[in-house]
Amino acid sequence: MSIVKINVLTVPEDQRETLEKRFAARAGAVESSDGFEWFELLRPVEGTDTYLVYTRWRSEEDFQNWMTGRGQSAHRGGSAEGERPKPAATDSTLWSFEVVQQAAPRQD
């Protein structure tokens, strides 16, 4: 079964728009990667400053291949002058899971 990687980002309220714009600008950076299955950026609704970046992969190997290739450049960022922009998140933790059960809506 698939694996899930959730990047847990602490994002101050004044940086939320910046973070969301950066993710919107990176559209397509992961979607064509071998083994990629799903992406979601989850915005906190109340009581927390934690965003979740959910990605699902066919295998750990596919995720690692992306991280050492395209993922490395996607996370590097940078401007025309070669300077890396200030991170919008103040903290980041990566959670890893194996999918052991799943369900989808019934197709009646």
**pLDDT, tens digit (0-9, with 9 covering 90-100), for 6-35:** 999 999 999 999 999 999 998 788 999 999
Residues 18 and 92 sit within 8 Å (Cβ to Cβ): no
pTM value is 0.83
pLDDT in tens, 53-68: 999 999 999 999 999 9
Domain residue extents for the chain: 3-98
Residues 1 and 92 sit within 8 Å (Cβ to Cβ): no
3-98 CATH: 3.30.70.100
Is the confidence at residue 80, as pLDDT, over 50?
Answer: no
- List 50's β-bridge partners, or say none: 10
Structure tokens that stand for 84 in this block: 């890396």
